[in-house]
Amino acid sequence: MIAALSNTSAEPYWMSAVDAAPACPALSADTRCDLAIVGGGFTGLWAALKAREQQPDARIVLLEAGRCGQEASGRTGGFCAPSISHGVSNALARHPGEAETLIRLGRQNLVDYQRDLEDYGIDAGFMLSGKLNVAATPWQVEGLQAMARNYERFGIECTLLSGAQLAEKLDSPAYVAGLFEPNYALIHPTRTVSELRRVCLAKGVEIFEHSPVTGISPAGADIVLETGQVRVTASRVMLATNAAMPLLKRLRAAFIPIYDYSLVTEPLSQAQWASIGWTGDHGIADSGNQFHYFRKTPDGRMLWAGYDAIYHYGSGREPANLQRSESFERLATRFAATFPSLAGVSFSHAWGGIIDTSARTTFFAGRAMGGRVAYAMGFTGQGVSASRFAALTMLDLLAHRDTERTRLRMPRRWPVPFPPEPLRSLAVQLAQKGLAQEDLTGRRPPFLRLLDAMGIGFAS
Ligand SMILES: Cc1cc2nc3c(=O)[nH]c(=O)nc-3n(C[C@H](O)[C@H](O)[C@H](O)COP(=O)(O)OP(=O)(O)OC[C@H]3O[C@@H](n4cnc5c(N)ncnc54)[C@H](O)[C@@H]3O)c2cc1C
């Protein structure tokens, strides 16, 4: 094992940095409510809060399998994008007919996200500190230039950087150019969860933790959720279960679980930060298909994550997959190559999380069981801010409201289903091989071009 990894905690840094509130009780008796929400991550918590705004007198129950924020929402990088479409270029490439609307709504969602935090007094560690996209190869530089042209077209502020200007934001021998976009935020993931949960409870949302839902079925005009020996009978249900095995069979091939891994360093000194030119609070991501995202923590550590995207045969979701020494070693090795001046820095935390990877890289939402159940999932690695938008979309769907959100084709379009095994693994392997090859050569292999033509994407 690499020495820098010899003393890491498997608990996500974000969870260790926040005192856990006492658990809410598990559901222990049959109950009835107007709205039941399954899942207590960002999507479920935003859904509960927004439902309370719209229905002040409704009985709202949220059921969480473990503790709120224990899955993706507590393991994320916390990059809070001004986008619901996995970025401007993705909207243009995959949803050209409504790209302009998607881009506008994504930007507005970030404004509204910040306003909600302020209105509710939610201390989410929200910082509108911008994002630096960095390029390592000539074709990645061209990619940033194309991104800048797209931004310009939509009036989105950004600056292309190289040389000394780049070194003022990040000084690494690995990167030759950058694109800085000031309108991009970071949040503290676990603080966001715990604050959303606190406000939901204060607003009378009933949260039951350690209450996994094992079945869903219609019963007359209602929906019945089973959890252990007890049942919740609800007029309406929202499913916010993200990468977990979906309760609705029809959703089971709509996305696959892909594991993404993170390291956090010991706190770095001012001199160490200065040695890599990173004196601001912006987040950073590089531009490969296999990409790193990295940011500072409030106590001066660096989160260094991404690159590997690991799929397990049969869409395996075993808890043991959350630790993967090969991925941690690859991260540590690539960290050392990216930041030679930080050689010798050790890592305090190493963890994994599951990304609900859909074949078109953005969330989808819909209705089931006669319109009494709504779902939203498939965020594909960009769900911090989109979860709020998805929650509002589910509420619109349940209320059968005709809104700009429900008129969007992107969430409604059914994601191309992943084939069953063994084809599924084969397709993932081929796509990943192609993406790695493109990173090395700058040329998109024929298999990926075929997928592009079919509207199928693969990203984490
Ligand atoms: C390592 C990692 C890094 C990421 N980085 C970023 C980033 O920087 N920026 C970004 O925008 N996105 C990022 N993402 C994606 C983002 O974190 C997710 O899209 C977002 O957190 C999804 O929120 P959610 O509430 O839908 O899902 P989750 O947080 O996964 O919550 C779903 C909840 O449902 C519960 N649940 C599931 N099934 C049941 C059931 N049957 N009964 C009861 N409860 C159930 C689970 O226990 C879980 O708590 C990242 C994801 C990962 C894994």
Query: Residue 361 — pLDDT band, cuts 50, 70, 90?
Result: confident
Residue 459 pLDDT: 60
- Decide if 386 contacts 46 (C-beta within 8 A): no
Please check whether residues 302 and 372 belong to one and the same domain: no
Residue 454 pLDDT: 81
Please check whether residues 51 and 198 belong to one and the same domain: yes
Least confident of 131-140, 215-224, 348-357, 414-423: 414-423
- Does the pLDDT of residue 460 top 60, yes or no? no
Please check whether residues 319 and 329 belong to one and the same domain: yes
| Domain enclosing residue 384, as ranges | 13-77+190-252+360-412
378-388 mean pLDDT = 96
Number of H helices, E strands in the chain: 15, 19
Residue 248 pLDDT: 97
Among candidate residues 341, 358, 375, the one where a domain is terminated: 358
Question: Which atom of ligand 1 lies closest to the CA of 353?
Answer: 53
Provide, for the chain, the percentages of residues in helix, strand and coil under a 3-state DSSP scheme, each rounded to the nearest 5. Answer: 35, 25, 40
Residue 20 pLDDT: 85
The phi-psi region of residue 307 (left if phi > 0; otherwise alpha if psi is between -120 and 50; otherwise beta) is left
Please check whether residues 296 and 386 belong to one and the same domain: no
Backbone angles phi, psi at 426, to 5 degrees: -60, -45
In a mutational test of the pocket of ligand 1, which residue from 379, 394, 460 has the highest number of ligand atoms less than 8 Å from its CB? 379
Please check whether residues 301 and 163 belong to one and the same domain: yes
Q: Does the residue 1 lie in any domain?
A: no
- Decide if 107 contacts 184 (C-beta within 8 A): no
What pLDDT, in 10s, does the model give residues 255-312?
999 999 999 999 999 999 999 999 999 999 999 999 999 999 999 999 999 999 999 9
- Does the pLDDT of residue 445 top 60, yes or no? yes
Please check whether residues 260 and 346 belong to one and the same domain: yes
CATH of the domain at 332: 3.30.9.10
Structure token pair of residue 134 = 């960095």
Q: Which residues contact 327 (CB under 8 A, 6 or more apart)?
A: 259, 261, 307, 308, 310, 352
Site residues for ligand 1, CB cut-off 6 Å: 38-44, 63-66, 70-73, 75-79, 81, 212-213, 240-244, 247, 260, 262, 293, 353-355, 379, 381-384, 387
Tell me which residue has tokens 């934001």: 169
CATH of the domain at 62: 3.50.50.60
Listed in order, strand segments (DSSP E) in 85-221 are: 131-135, 159-162, 177-181, 185-186, 206-208, 215-219
Mean of pLDDT over the chain: 96
- Decide if 158 contacts 116 (C-beta within 8 A): no
Please check whether residues 143 and 291 belong to one and the same domain: yes
3-class DSSP state for residue 92? helix
Residue 80 pLDDT: 98
Q: Does the residue 397 lie in any domain?
A: yes
For residue 15, count CB atoms less than 10 angstroms from its CB and return exposed for 0-12, middle for 13-18, buried for 19 or more: buried
Ligand 1, atom 25: closest residue by C-alpha: 41
Query: Residue 376 — pLDDT band, cuts 50, 70, 90?
Result: very high
Please check whether residues 265 and 345 belong to one and the same domain: yes
Please check whether residues 327 and 386 belong to one and the same domain: no
What pLDDT, in 10s, does the model give residues 216-253?
999 999 999 999 899 999 999 999 999 999 999 999 99
- Decide if 254 contacts 244 (C-beta within 8 A): no
Residue 57 pLDDT: 97
pTM (predicted TM-score):
0.97
- Does the pLDDT of residue 324 top 90, yes or no? yes
Please check whether residues 160 and 289 belong to one and the same domain: yes
Q: Does the residue 105 lie in any domain?
A: no
Please check whether residues 307 and 279 belong to one and the same domain: yes
Please check whether residues 161 and 274 belong to one and the same domain: yes
State the amino acid at position 174 in one-letter form.
A
Residue 414 pLDDT: 86
Ligand 1, atom 22: closest residue by C-alpha: 383
Ligand 1, atom 9: closest residue by C-alpha: 79
- Decide if 396 contacts 405 (C-beta within 8 A): yes
In a mutational test of the pocket of ligand 1, which residue from 113, 129, 242 has the highest number of ligand atoms less than 8 Å from its CB? 242
What pLDDT, in 10s, does the model give residues 8-25?
999 999 999 888 899 999
- Decide if 448 contacts 438 (C-beta within 8 A): yes
For residue 269, count CB atoms less than 10 angstroms from its CB and return exposed for 0-12, middle for 13-18, buried for 19 or more: exposed
Among candidate residues 334, 358, 382, the one where a domain is terminated: 358
Relative to beta strand 283-286, strand 255-265 is unpaired
Q: Does the residue 32 lie in any domain?
A: yes
Residue 377 pairs in a beta bridge with 364
- Does the pLDDT of residue 131 top 70, yes or no? yes
What pLDDT, in 10s, does the model give residues 144-178?
999 999 999 999 999 999 999 999 999 999 999 99
CA–CA separation, 291 and 87 (whole Å): 15
What pLDDT, in 10s, does the model give residues 70-120?
999 999 999 999 999 999 999 999 899 999 999 999 999 999 999 999 999
Cα within 13 Å of Cα(38), Cβ side: 31
For residue 22, count CB atoms less than 10 angstroms from its CB and return exposed for 0-12, middle for 13-18, buried for 19 or more: exposed
Residue 458 pLDDT: 65
- Decide if 92 contacts 151 (C-beta within 8 A): no
As for how many domains the chain has, the answer is 3
Closest CA to 305 of 292, 288, 289, 316: 292
Q: Does the residue 308 lie in any domain?
A: yes
Q: Does the residue 440 lie in any domain?
A: yes
Q: Does the residue 121 lie in any domain?
A: no
CA–CA separation, 81 and 101 (whole Å): 16
Among candidate residues 358, 375, 400, the one where a domain is terminated: 358
Residue 360 pLDDT: 80
Q: Does the residue 112 lie in any domain?
A: no
Longest alpha-carbon distance in the chain: 68
What is the secondary structure of 35-77 as a DSSP string? EEEE--SHHHHHHHHHHHHH-TT--EEEE-SSSTT-SHHHHS-
Distances (CA, A) of 401 to 226, 256, 354, 396, 397: 28, 30, 32, 5, 6
